[in-house]
Amino acid sequence: MFDVLTITSPIYIIVGLGFVFTRAGLFAKPDMRLFGKFVINLALPALVFRALSQRQLGEVLNPGYLVAYTVGALAVVGLGYTWARRVGGHSATASTFLAMGMSSSNSGFVGYPIMLLTLAPMAGVVLALNMLVENLVVIPLLLWLAERAKGTGDPWRALTQSLVRLATNPLFLALAAGLVISATGWQLPAPVTRSIDLLASASGALSLFVIGGTLVGLPLAGMGQRVMPVVLGKLLVHPLLVWGAVSALPWLGLDLSPELRMAAVLSAAMPVMGIYPTLAQAHGQEDTSAAALMATTMASFFTLSALLWLFNTARTAGG
């Protein structure tokens, strides 16, 4: 267990430093938004591009991983939405964002640093695969459901606008460019490669610091009853469903290496994505979403540590 804590503790120590320094006034909360823009628009795209461009296309576009992670995410969307509507008695809009909280992982700000410490050789590729599923399938679907629930305007038009914005997103452009370089085998000039490496190396620690600073001032009081389903759905149900999808891959003639199986389940066990409250704000769901972001981030220290311990125990027993 001590070996596991040496992996997870540094992650949450940096998150804690972001929280403490921002709470103490050494950084202002708007600074976190600025740092976050740097990570999202420069550091993470550079990281994704580097991971994809330096590997063969067949290694990057792993069909087994994409199928398992997509099926697991869509399953938790369906279960989360159905539970919220039929059992929780929530509105269609609230149910949509509860399902978003259960199914949308923080693959960049938290997931990548943890992958870097546990599965370093494939951390960048796992990030890219997760981004493909989340940005091309899960988030557009949930935003379409949110617009449909509002009953105003054309939800199909909203979906089209979402996809158009996605096409100009730096992360998506980095994904596309990396796949092109991977497919063609082009070699970039050394100065360009080194510049990309410098930007990519800035993503890990800064992204965790941003998460900590973002948590300052988020509400938790009185939110327990509404937030708990998101915490359970995100940190327990989502990884269980992805594990089930991974286990079913041989029936489809697909398979994954033990490392990629572990990466898929770990990715699903990450806390909710950092832009969750921002997306929810346009639909009046920001308070619950912000509280869920804080709760899943705090609780994930224990759930991720337990999951890593299980993986290590299974490895030891198998060895």
pTM, 2 dp: 0.80
pLDDT of residue 20: 93
Range from 22-31, 54-63, 94-103, 268-277 carrying the lowest mean pLDDT:
54-63
Which range of 9-13, 206-210, 239-243 scores highest in mean pLDDT? It is 239-243
Burial class (CB in 10 A: 0-12, 13-18, 19+), 155: middle
Handedness of CA 119, 123, 127, 129 (dihedral sign): negative
Average pLDDT across the chain, whole number? 84
Over the stretch 212-261, which tens digit does the pLDDT of each residue have?
887 787 666 666 677 899 999 999 999 999 999 999 999 989 989 999 99
Q: What is each CA distance from 6 to 147, 205, 309, in whole angstroms?
A: 43, 16, 11
- Compute the CA torsion angle 299, 304, 309, 310 (nearest 10 deg): 100
DSSP category for residue 119: S
Residue 202's pLDDT is: 78
How high is the pLDDT of residue 318? Answer: 61
What letter would DSSP give residue 283?
T
Cross-strand partners of 105? 272
* Neighbour count for residue 314 (Cβ, 10 Å): 12
- Sequential DSSP letters for 94-158: HHHHHHHHHH-B-IIIIIHHHHHHHSGGGHHHHHHHHHHHIIIIIHHHHHHHHHHHHTSS-HHHH
Per-residue pLDDT at 158: 65
What whole-number percentage of the chain has pLDDT above 70?
Answer: 90
**Cα 102 from Cα 277, distance rounded (Å):** 13
Identify the pLDDT of residue 2.
56
- If you average pLDDT over residues 63-79, what whole number do you get? 95
pLDDT of residue 98: 93
Q: What is the pLDDT of residue 67?
A: 95
Sign for the CA dihedral angle at 50, 53, 56, 57 comes to positive
What gap in Å lies between CA 172 and CA 248, rounded to an integer?
A: 29
Could you tell me which residues are beta bridge partners of residue 272?
A: 105
Are 204 and 116 in contact by the 8 Å Cβ rule? The answer is: yes
Which pLDDT value is given to residue 224?
A: 67
Look at residue 272 and give its three-state secondary structure.
strand
What was the pLDDT predicted at 154? 62
By three-state DSSP, how is residue 105 classified? Answer: strand
Q: What is the pLDDT of residues 149-206, one digit of tens each?
A: 776 556 666 667 666 766 777 877 888 888 888 888 888 888 888 898 888 877 777 8
Tell me the average pLDDT across 33-38. 82
Q: Could you tell me which residues come within 8 angstroms of residue 141 by beta carbon, excluding any fewer than 6 positions away? A: 74, 77
